[in-house]
Amino acid sequence: MKTNFNLSLKKTALSAASIILLFSASCTKESGPDNVKSASALSLSNRTAKPSAIGTAGPKGVCYIEVNNYDFRDVGKYKLTNGSQLFDVGIIFAANINYNTTTKKATLFFNTQVTNVLNNKATYIAPVQAKGIKVLLSILGNHQGAGIANFTSKADATAYAQLLSNAVTTYGLDGIDFDDEYADYGTNSTPQPNDSSFVYLVTALRQLMPTKIISFYYIGPASTKLSYNGVTVGSKVNYAWNPYYGTYSAPPVPGLAKSNLGPAAIDITSTSVATATSFATRTVADGYGIYLYYNLPDADSHTYLSGVSNALYGYSTVYSSN
């Protein structure tokens, strides 16, 4: 779960300069996590092969970057001593689901810091992708009553999926990550979560983005709404991971194999290196395919990360400020 400290910083930024974007609807650690080539390729049989880090056998490293506090490019500054990148996926944390009280529709909102990263994609996003790292945009609630779990119709869910797909195209991203926190369902007289909303949303987004990554930060009401009319969220998303930092627990998402799940979740700024290393050892021993990091700071953290990488891959981590 994202910390209250970082949330308070983010919400301060959100309430200051803000931009609401309403888009019109107009292995080897080298195959990358977006190895889904078509909607039909999302069958479980095609997504259960043992994953690997960029150029190195082992679980994929997924890292959330708090762009209100840190430089997104930090995710590309760490390599293993064999030359491979440490992180496979960097997630921009976070865009928001806001609510337009006039139209009664969910909107896509970028605060000042997220806007800066996206609008300057040549500076912040492309250099990271050039290293083989996939870049996702996290979608998070914003205390306005709108969220991924309370779309009341397939049409509304599809319209929001179109906004997300447009953003991925506009900013050259590799996919979308869903985080069902801080929606405050019921605020602004919005409806409560329902069984169909999240399934409709990921189904529509998968149709719009057949080759992109869709991931789920397993938290909130959406985590209990994973199947509707015979369709599972796990048949539409690529990955899901544990949201509680400093804990080890695989999210029970129907349709996803171990290779697509991350039970280990660490906050680099607060989880002890002993715990982080222990989780890495367990991830490998248990056969899971994802290791989740949060709060990568601007300061050199290679010593801390080496404990994890040695357990995951058998190599230490090195840092470059370039």
Q: Could you tell me the pTM of the whole model?
A: 0.86
pLDDT at 136 over 50: yes
Interatomic CA distance for residues 274 and 294, integer angstroms: 16
Residue with tokens 């440490």: 86
Query: In the beta sheet, which residues pair with residue 213?
Result: 175
**Residue 229 is part of a domain; what is its CATH number?**
3.20.20.80
Looking at the structure of the chain, the number of domains it has is 1
Which tops the pLDDT comparison, 37 or 123? 123
Span 205-249, pLDDT tens digits: 999 999 999 999 999 999 999 999 999 999 999 999 999 999 999
pLDDT, position 54: 65
Query: Which residues are CB-contacts of 225 (< 8 A; sequence separation ≥ 6)?
Result: 149, 193, 194, 195, 196, 197, 198, 199
Interatomic CA distance for residues 208 and 73, integer angstroms: 28
- Show which residues are catalytic: 181
Mean pLDDT, all residues of the chain:
87
Amino acid found at 27? C
Q: Each residue of 126-147: b (16+ CB within 10 Å) or e?
A: eebbebbbbbbbbbbbbbbbbb
pLDDT, position 171: 98
User: Domain range for residue 75?
Assistant: 4-319
Structure tokens at 250: 């695989």
| Residues above pLDDT 90, as percent of the chain | 82
Q: Centre a 10 Å sphere on the Cβ of residue 206 and count the other Cβ atoms it contains.
A: 20
